Amino acid sequence: MIPHPATQQPLPDETFTLTPDASIGSTDSAVRTIAERLAAQLRRSTGFGLPVRTGAGTITLSTDGADSLGTEGYELRADSSGVTITGATAEGVFRGVTTLRQLLPAQIEAAGVQDGPWEIAGTTISDAPRYGYRGVMLDVTRHFFTVDQVKRFIELVSRYKINRLHLHLTDDQGWRIQVDSWPRLTEYGGSLQVGGGAGGAYTKADFAEIVRYAGEHYITVVPEIDTPGHTNAALASYPELTADGVAPELYTGTKVGFSSLASGKERTYEFLADVFREVAEQTSGDLVHLGGDEAHVTPHEDYLTFVPKAAQLVVDQGKRVMGWHEIADAPLPAGTIVQYWGTEDEKAQALAVKAVEQGATLVLSPANRAYLDMKYDEDTPLGLQWAGLVSVEQSYDWNPATLIPGVPATAIDGVEAPLWTETLDDLAKVEYMVFPRLPGIAELGWSPESALDWKRYRDRLAGQGPRWEALGVNYHRSAEIDWA
Ligand code: TNX
């Protein structure tokens, strides 16, 4: 099972078997839709009727109990008489259902009816996460991904108890979210992508569907509007945002660090006020990510005045600020989350310390560990390697609590695995880079430190292979894992 639960005990002599007469019960309306979606999934591969009823069933979902386990915690018991999943909230029950699916045989994930038997060795589990922020990032600007592709991505990552989807929505190569007050951002700024092919952008209805679907999987969307660098698509659409008033060409290459909003112009902040307002309106979560990375052509003094002004515009919308670790050089509003993407470099580490000194908390995305766009090894046909090669072991075998010298464990909100898509133009390629590394990052975010052990994790990871086969996931059959 991945992530490994906080505590699990076997119930010797007990076996649960899902049989054709089984039902799914929900004790209250809060978990009814979770029960209905579970039933729909199990019907496909079992062929059973699996009626959903109010009250107890063969599998019972309940929010009556487990109060001490927090919003995401749950208790699960599987014995000869049935399965019960209890959380203090519907979210906790949902996390428990992801565990149930992994307890069932891999063929449960097949699209068509399979033979079974559908057995679970008797067990009790009491589970709750180590960290509250367990994210994945998808870059939809270097290459655009459709709503349906993002939904499949959400469904796959939700199985590992990921609870944040950071969408990198704007960059030099494309602006991908509708802003009605600045329509050329998507009309023109979203028209291309890396390599020069057609890009795309989400309408407000599209984005609402992504937010809704993520919410159904208890995942909160964190929208990123990257500023003041990584803004060529915006500058090409609205030359008034550039320092010299001249629009650059649209850009379809993969260089970074060459563009900047005009940080000295009032128009820039009017623009950002509009953008953050419309983006905040489209988000259900409490975070808006303002980027802040690699602003190499923004004079540093200007950057230091830009960041607090942009951050205030996010706060004005009632949202908390998130940003890449460079923003920590500037004063930050209360409640800011700083996303660390350094490797072992002292400059990045110093910024992380500076972030914490001013009261910010950290989400850890160390590029040499958590970057899903880094090649696994020299032979990986996709991806980049500026942060080194990131094998499955390298991505798993580190401790968030002690990663950055001088940062106390209490300052860590969690972990996030970013996927940049310069080299990834379809979902099969995305899946190849995400699986099997993402489950390891998810486990670092969820499981207690005592459960983390590379050798034992390897064996558990091997067990995910047949699930991905059943789901048609294009995972990388890394030689580090004994998939047989
Ligand atoms: C650096 S990491 C970037 C991105 C690139 C990525 C490629 C970060 C905050 N910025 O613009 O896509 O490297 O790995």
Our answer on whether the CB atom of 256 is closer than 6 Å to any ligand 1 atom is: yes
Does residue 483 form part of some domain? no
Residue closest via CA to ligand 1's atom 9 equals 293
How far apart (Å, rounded) are the C-alpha atoms in residues 138 and 126? 31
- Least reliable range by pLDDT among 63-72, 179-188, 223-232: 63-72
Question: Using 50, 70 and 90 to split pLDDT, how confident is the model at 113?
Answer: very high
Q: Is 80 exceeded by the pLDDT of residue 161?
A: yes
Both 282 and 146 in one domain: the answer is yes
Does residue 71 form part of some domain? yes
How far apart (Å, rounded) are the C-alpha atoms in residues 177 and 225? 9
Both 38 and 176 in one domain: the answer is no
Both 250 and 320 in one domain: the answer is yes
Both 152 and 210 in one domain: the answer is yes
Mean pLDDT of all residues in 258-272: 98
Both 249 and 387 in one domain: the answer is yes
Our answer on whether the CB atom of 376 is closer than 6 Å to any ligand 1 atom is: no
Is 294 one of the annotated active-site residues of the chain? yes
Ligand 1: distance of its center to the CA of 371 in Å?
9
Q: What CATH number is given to the structural domain containing 187? A: 3.20.20.80
| Residue of 14, 155, 278, 294 marked catalytic | 294
Ligand 1 atom nearest residue 367's Cα: 2
- The CB density around residue 300, as the number of other CB atoms within 10 Å, is 11
Ligand 1 atom nearest residue 384's Cα: 14
Does residue 454 form part of some domain? no
Does residue 362 form part of some domain? yes
Task: Look at residue 309 in the predicted model and tell me its pLDDT.
Answer: 98
Does residue 227 form part of some domain? yes
How far apart (Å, rounded) are the C-alpha atoms in residues 185 and 202? 11
Ligand 1: distance of its center to the CA of 365 in Å?
11
Provide the 3-class DSSP secondary structure of residue 52: strand
Mean pLDDT of all residues in 229-247: 98
- Which of 194, 322, 338, 420 to mutate for ligand 1's pocket (most ligand atoms within 8 Å of CB)? 420
Our answer on whether the CB atom of 385 is closer than 6 Å to any ligand 1 atom is: no
Q: Is 80 exceeded by the pLDDT of residue 484?
A: no
Domain count, the chain: 2
Mean pLDDT of all residues in 281-299: 97
Mean pLDDT over the full length of the chain: 98
Provide the 3-class DSSP secondary structure of residue 146: coil
- Which of 222, 294, 433 to mutate for ligand 1's pocket (most ligand atoms within 8 Å of CB)? 294
Task: Look at residue 118 in the predicted model and tell me its pLDDT.
Answer: 98
Q: Is 90 exceeded by the pLDDT of residue 480?
A: yes
Does residue 394 form part of some domain? yes
Both 113 and 205 in one domain: the answer is no
Residue closest via CA to ligand 1's atom 5 equals 420
Ligand 1 atom nearest residue 293's Cα: 9
Ligand 1 atom nearest residue 254's Cα: 12
Question: Using 50, 70 and 90 to split pLDDT, how confident is the model at 66?
Answer: confident
Q: Is 90 exceeded by the pLDDT of residue 77?
A: yes
Our answer on whether the CB atom of 254 is closer than 6 Å to any ligand 1 atom is: no
Task: Look at residue 365 in the predicted model and tell me its pLDDT.
Answer: 98
Both 281 and 362 in one domain: the answer is yes
Question: Using 50, 70 and 90 to split pLDDT, how confident is the model at 92?
Answer: very high
Does residue 459 form part of some domain? no
Q: Is 90 exceeded by the pLDDT of residue 141?
A: yes
Query: What range defines the domain where residue 120 resides?
Result: 7-127
How far apart (Å, rounded) are the C-alpha atoms in residues 138 and 432? 14
Both 397 and 256 in one domain: the answer is yes
Mean pLDDT of all residues in 280-298: 97
How far apart (Å, rounded) are the C-alpha atoms in residues 22 and 119? 13
Domain-terminating residue out of 109, 127, 145: 127
Mean pLDDT of all residues in 345-371: 98
What is the DSSP-derived secondary structure letter of residue 58? S
Our answer on whether the CB atom of 373 is closer than 6 Å to any ligand 1 atom is: yes
Ligand 1: distance of its center to the CA of 361 in Å?
21
Both 350 and 420 in one domain: the answer is yes
Ligand 1: distance of its center to the CA of 37 in Å?
36
Both 327 and 420 in one domain: the answer is yes
Q: Is 90 exceeded by the pLDDT of residue 324?
A: yes
Residue closest via CA to ligand 1's atom 13 equals 420
How far apart (Å, rounded) are the C-alpha atoms in residues 41 and 336? 38
Ligand 1: distance of its center to the CA of 420 in Å?
7
Q: Given phi > 0 = left and psi -120 to 50 = alpha, else beta, which region is 447?
A: beta
How far apart (Å, rounded) are the C-alpha atoms in residues 232 and 163? 31
How many alpha carbons fall within 13 Å on the CB side of residue 392? 25
What is the DSSP-derived secondary structure letter of residue 248? P
Which single residue is written with the structure tokens 């390891």?
440
Question: Using 50, 70 and 90 to split pLDDT, how confident is the model at 280?
Answer: very high
Tokens linked to 219: 């995942």
Mean pLDDT of all residues in 239-266: 98
Ligand 1: distance of its center to the CA of 28 in Å?
45
Q: Is 90 exceeded by the pLDDT of residue 439?
A: yes
Does residue 407 form part of some domain? yes
Q: Given phi > 0 = left and psi -120 to 50 = alpha, else beta, which region is 5?
A: beta
- Partnered with residue 224 across adjacent β-strands are 168, 289
Ligand 1 atom nearest residue 365's Cα: 2
Both 140 and 123 in one domain: the answer is no
Residue closest via CA to ligand 1's atom 6 equals 420
Ligand 1: distance of its center to the CA of 254 in Å?
10
Both 275 and 301 in one domain: the answer is yes
Q: What CATH number is given to the structural domain containing 115? A: 3.30.379.10
Domain-terminating residue out of 82, 108, 127: 127
Our answer on whether the CB atom of 384 is closer than 6 Å to any ligand 1 atom is: yes
Task: Look at residue 30 in the predicted model and tell me its pLDDT.
Answer: 87
